[in-house]
């Protein structure tokens, strides 16, 4: 399917601002195909230019279809040995939990492609101490990227989703992690879920070369309208706070999710 994605003509609406490109796809399938194209392009370009591709996968349910598409169609055409997989957030559960973002990505993609196991970096969310898990993951990131003290590792691609409340990764509205300015990965208490989550901070997300949001479904329409056209502060809709300082931001949304946006957006 991806072979024809390259030449697949989709009805897309494009809106490019100084900092973000909003691409409206017609159907969820168009959305996943567009996302697959972006991932494949970023992977090939990164490996060509820098010898490797570093990606942080998003969790939840939306990306499962993207991962399945990639596994089914790009298994033989990507430089898997030079691709390194991280996770932008994780639930505070073991890797075999049905809630685990790692489990979802492993089942739909990572176990189905020839990526070396050493290229996959799950968040150690089985640790009962969420803060210790976050600190361990931050150390693993800094060790992998060999980032000088005070500098922030720069992912080639960070995939993000958005919840109906405007959260992204595990940066929930008015949660403490939104105020974090020095850490890369933190344990974030999510009151409404009565649990910790482990998440990239905005500092780490906004350091990326490319951030791609995948937003599908009518339940996301009110939050998407607020992100693009509303006046609420970013603390109430954390997805508003994602703006890569020296990178590209692409929003891939389907028609249902975009249904409350004005024509101008
Ligand atoms: C998670 C995700 C989260 C997700 C949004 C959207 O751990 O759940 O990282 O940020 O992207 O909640 O989830 P859906 O795609 O399931 O709507």
Give me the residue spans of the domains in the chain.
23-241
Pinpoint the alpha helices (H) of 113-214.
Answer: 130-145, 202-205
Cα(51) to centroid(ligand 1), Å: 30
Residue 14 predicted with pLDDT over 80: no
The pLDDT tens digits for 17-42 are 557 899 999 999 999 999 999 999 99
The pLDDT tens digits for 218-265 are 999 999 999 999 999 999 999 999 999 999 999 999 999 999 999 777
Cβ of 254 below 6 Å from ligand 1: no
Residue 16 predicted with pLDDT over 60: no
50 versus 11: the higher-pLDDT residue is: 50
pLDDT score, position 75: 87
Of 265, 95, 88, 228, the C-alpha closest to 170 is: 88
pLDDT score, position 2: 42
Residue nearest to atom 13 of ligand 1 (CA): 60
Cβ of 106 below 6 Å from ligand 1: no
- Separation between Cα atoms, residue 75 and residue 80, nearest integer Å: 8
Q: H or E element: which one contains 196?
A: strand 195-200
Atom from ligand 1 closest to the CA of residue 161: 11
Half-sphere exposure of residue 161, counting CA atoms within 13 Å on the CB side? 24
Residue nearest to atom 8 of ligand 1 (CA): 60
Cβ of 108 below 6 Å from ligand 1: no
Residue 147 predicted with pLDDT over 60: yes
Cα(163) to centroid(ligand 1), Å: 6
Q: What share of the chain has pLDDT > 70, as a percent? A: 93
Q: What is the DSSP string of 211-228?
A: EEEEE-SGGGHHHHHHHH
What are phi and psi for residue 222, nearest 5 degrees?
-65, -40
CB atoms within 10 A of CB 255: 18
Under CATH, which number does the domain 23-241 receive? 3.40.50.1360
- Separation between Cα atoms, residue 108 and residue 163, nearest integer Å: 21
Rounded to a whole number, what is the largest CA-CA distance in the chain?
Answer: 49
Mutate to test the pocket of ligand 1, among 99, 161, 190, 218 (most ligand atoms within 8 A of CB): 161
Atom from ligand 1 closest to the CA of residue 90: 7
Cβ of 201 below 6 Å from ligand 1: no
Cα(55) to centroid(ligand 1), Å: 17
Cβ of 166 below 6 Å from ligand 1: no
Residue 148 predicted with pLDDT over 90: no
What are phi and psi for residue 170, nearest 5 degrees?
-120, 40
- C-alpha radius of gyration, the chain, whole number: 17
Of 213, 220, 201, the C-alpha closest to 153 is: 201
pLDDT score, position 18: 53
What are the Cα distances from residue 73, in Å, to 50, 70, 87, 109, 112?
A: 24, 5, 22, 11, 11
The pLDDT tens digits for 75-97 are 889 999 999 999 999 999 999 99
Cβ of 161 below 6 Å from ligand 1: yes
């Amino acid at each position: 399917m991806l072979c024809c994605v390259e030449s697949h003509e989709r009805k897309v609406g494009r809106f490019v601002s100084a900092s973000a490109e909003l691409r409206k796809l017609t159907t969820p399938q168009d959305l996943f195909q567009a996302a697959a194209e972006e991932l494949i392009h970023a992977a090939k370009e990164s490996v060509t230019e820098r010898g490797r591709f570093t990606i942080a996968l998003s969790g939840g349910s939306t990306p499962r279809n993207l991962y399945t598409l990639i596994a089914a169609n790009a298994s033989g055409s990507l430089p898997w040995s030079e691709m390194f997989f991280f996770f932008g957030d994780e639930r505070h559960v073991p890797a075999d939990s049905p809630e685990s973002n790692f489990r979802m990505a492993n089942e739909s993609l990572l176990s189905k492609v020839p990526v070396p196991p050493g290229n996959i970096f799950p968040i150690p969310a089985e640790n009962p101490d969420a803060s210790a898990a976050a600190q361990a993951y931050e150390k693993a990131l800094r060790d992998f990227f060999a980032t000088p003290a005070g500098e922030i590792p720069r992912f080639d691609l960070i995939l993000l989703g958005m919840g109906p409340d405007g959260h992204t990764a595990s940066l929930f509205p008015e949660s403490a992690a939104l105020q974090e300015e020095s850490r890369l990965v933190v344990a974030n208490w999510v009151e409404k879920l009565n649990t910790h989550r482990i998440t990239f901070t905005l500092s780490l997300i906004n350091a990326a070369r490319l951030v791609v949001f995948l937003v599908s479904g009518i339940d996301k329409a009110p939050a998407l309208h607020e992100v693009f056209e509303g006046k609420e502060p970013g603390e109430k809709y954390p997805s508003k706070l994602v703006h890569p300082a020296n990178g590209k931001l692409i929003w891939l949304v389907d028609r249902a999710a975009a249904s409350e946006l004005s024509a101008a957006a």
